[in-house]
């Protein structure tokens, strides 16, 4: 198969090849400011399908898939490169360069929110505003910090993924799904099982090992934290923690009648006005 020899070089794929690989799509009004929509693990850019129509007229929307998404050729997932979130940030910035976008608004869900934060630290003038949905700087609980996931719960998820992975290696598609794990982690991990088991395991470790609490203060860009009323994977205390620690001007928007970790899928009608408000201020 041709075309997948692109990323064995040191810095990852070049701009235009990256655009192909990550299924980058630009829709909407080309004369208006850019709005980048970045999905979380386990879904792909089609998760934004119900949000896009509302912003098509007023923004130039850029959609792309994370390299771990199901719609990206799994051969492109370089296990040596995507060890930390920095590689994902590289990808995002490379896309912005390839599309020649100087400044943009960024909407990130879950792990993409973390990627957005890191990108904004690296290149503060590229981002006008960050809108973070279901964001958390660290998922694991700490002595004073309640991230949402206890050690035991993470272990359950990882164990389920390990068994998935073993089954996969032996040639069987695993039968476990996100709903088999305890309720506390269910919503979050439901989508994790949509990815290929080895990638899932790898990405989960990356996500659960990452701790952005230390660098939050370096963010200068204004941020909006969008939180549902009841998200088992991201408690409200985390939202407040973020607001206190983020360096730029930060506001919290709570979606009061919504619960769950994927409001852009389960309640787009509630999410759209919030995003619109945030973008216009």
Q: Which stretch binds another protein (CB under 8 A): 115-123, 140-148, 183-191, 243-251?
A: 183-191
CA distance 276 to 281: 9
Record the tokens describing residue 226, joined without a space. 């969008």
Start-to-end Cα distance in the chain? 48
| Contact pick of 9, 10, 30, 152 for another protein (by CB under 8 A) | 30
Report the alpha-carbon distance of residue 211 to residue 50 in Å, rounded: 31
Q: Which two tokens stand for residue 110?
A: 């879950």
Pairwise CA distance, residues 170 & 180, whole Å = 21
Q: Is 180 an active-site residue?
A: no
Report the nearest approach of another protein to the CB of residue 51 (Å).
12
27 binds another protein (CB under 8 A): yes
Residue among 147, 168, 160 at smallest CA distance from 192 = 160
**HSE, side-chain direction, 13 A CA sphere, residue 127:** 29
Quick check: 19 binds another protein (CB under 8 A)?
Answer: yes
Binding marks (x or -) toward another protein, 63..92, rule CB under 8 A? --x---xxx-xx------------------
Please say if 76 is a catalytic residue.
no
Site string for another protein, 131-170 (x = CB under 8 A): ------------------------------------x---
CB of 266 to another protein, least distance (A): 4
Stretch of residues binding another protein (CB under 8 A), selected from 116-124, 128-136, 194-202, 218-226: 194-202
In this complex, which beta carbon is closest to another protein, that of residue 157 or of residue 262? Answer: 262
What CA–CA distance (Å, rounded) separates 149 from 141?
6
Active-site residue, 257 included: no
Residue whose pair of structure tokens reads 């070089």 in the numeric block:
9
What is the number of alpha carbons within 13 Å of residue 62 lying toward its C-beta? 25
Q: Nearest distance from residue 179's CB to another protein, in Å? A: 5
Instruction: Indicate the residue among 176 and 218 with the shorter CB distance to another protein.
Output: 176
Going by the DSSP 8-state scheme, the letter that residue 67 receives in this structure is T
Q: Among 151-159, 187-195, 216-224, 271-279, which window interacts with another protein (CB under 8 A)?
A: 187-195
Does 114 participate in binding another protein (rule CB under 8 A)? no
Query: Could you say which of 179, 182, 209, 214 contacts another protein (CB under 8 A)?
Result: 179
Contact (Cβ atoms closer than 8 angstroms) between residue 160 and residue 180: yes
The Cα 88–Cα 82 span in angstroms is 7
Work out how close the CB of 211 gets to another protein at its nearest, in angstroms, rounded to a whole number. Answer: 27
Of 90, 109, 110, 278, which residue is the catalytic one?
Answer: 110
Size of the site for another protein (CB under 8 A): 49
Q: How far is CA 185 from CA 107, 148, 156, 265, in A?
A: 23, 9, 9, 18
Contact 197, 161 (CB under 8 A): yes
Q: Is 172 exposed, middle or buried (0-12, 13-18, 19+ CB in 10 A)?
A: exposed
| Contact residues: another protein, CB under 8 A | 1-3, 19-20, 23-27, 30, 43-46, 49-50, 65, 69-71, 73-74, 99-100, 167, 171-179, 183, 187, 190-191, 193-196, 259-262, 265-266
């Amino acid at each position: 198969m041709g075309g997948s020899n692109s990323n064995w070089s040191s810095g990852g794929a070049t701009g235009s090849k990256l655009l192909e690989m990550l299924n980058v799509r630009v829709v909407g009004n080309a004369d208006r400011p850019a709005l980048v929509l970045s999905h979380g693990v386990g879904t792909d850019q089609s998760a934004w399908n119900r949000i896009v129509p509302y912003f098509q007229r007023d923004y130039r929307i850029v959609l792309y898939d994370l390299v771990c998404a199901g719609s990206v050729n799994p051969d492109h997932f370089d296990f040596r490169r995507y060890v930390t979130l920095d590689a994902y940030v590289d990808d995002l910035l490379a896309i912005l360069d390839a599309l020649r976008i100087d400044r943009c608004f960024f909407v990130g869900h879950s792990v993409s929110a973390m990627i957005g934060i890191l990108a904004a630290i690296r290149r503060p003038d590229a981002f006008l505003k960050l809108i973070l949905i279901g964001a958390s700087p660290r998922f694991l609980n700490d002595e004073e910090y309640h991230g949402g996931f206890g050690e035991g719960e993470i272990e359950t998820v990882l164990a389920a993924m390990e068994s998935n992975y073993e089954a996969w290696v032996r040639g069987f598609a695993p039968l476990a799904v996100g709903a088999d794990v305890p309720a506390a982690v269910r919503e979050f991990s439901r989508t994790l099982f949509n990815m290929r088991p080895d990638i899932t395991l790898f990405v989960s470790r990356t996500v659960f090992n990452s701790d952005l609490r230390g660098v939050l203060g370096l963010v200068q860009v204004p941020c909006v934290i969008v939180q549902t009323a009841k998200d088992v994977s991201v408690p409200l205390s985390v939202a407040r923690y973020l607001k206190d620690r983020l360096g730029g001007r930060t506001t919290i928007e709570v979606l009061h009648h919504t619960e769950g970790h994927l409001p852009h899928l389960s309640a787009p009608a509630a999410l759209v006005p919030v995003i619109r408000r945030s973008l216009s201020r």
